[in-house]
Structure 1
């Protein structure tokens, strides 16, 4: 999985009744856009994300 600054990370909930978390990638700390990603979530919280199978990257148009 690759991402770059400006891409959106969508973390789907595996628990019934819980909402998905959406955030914006600030930085990719791995080689060539690989994880982990520094993400700012909609509530302003920033975290280092190591994506698993419940995470989807929505690429921003870069151009």
Structure 2
């Protein structure tokens, strides 16, 4: 997994019907874009250092448009 500042981090629940959590990547701590990331979560505005697991995906920010976190095509 690799990311840059401004990308969206999407974390899907491992439970059927569970919540989808998303946040903006504010800081990438490694030059190669690997985790951990500093993320501001959209549901509560908190900023945390996050080590993504297998239930997480990065939606890359391109051309000023980021995909909708609920959009499975992104």
- Answer 1 or 2: which has greater helix percent: 1
Bin the TM-score by the shorter chain: 0.7 to 0.9
Q: TM-score, normalising length from structure 1? A: 0.88
Spell out structure 1 runs of 4+ moving beyond 3 A: none
Give unmatched runs, 5+ long, in structure 2: 65-74
Within the alignment, does 1:18 sit opposite 2:25 as a pair? no
Q: With CA pairs under 8 Å and 6+ residues apart, which has the higher RCO, 1 or 2?
A: 1
Task: Give the TM-score, by structure 2 length.
Answer: 0.76
Residue matched to 1:57? 58
* Two-structure CA RMSD over aligned residues (Å): 1.6
| Number of the residue aligned with 1:39 | 39
Evaluate the alpha carbon distance shift between residue 4 and residue 62 of structure 1 in structure 2; reply closer, same or farther with a 3 A threshold: farther
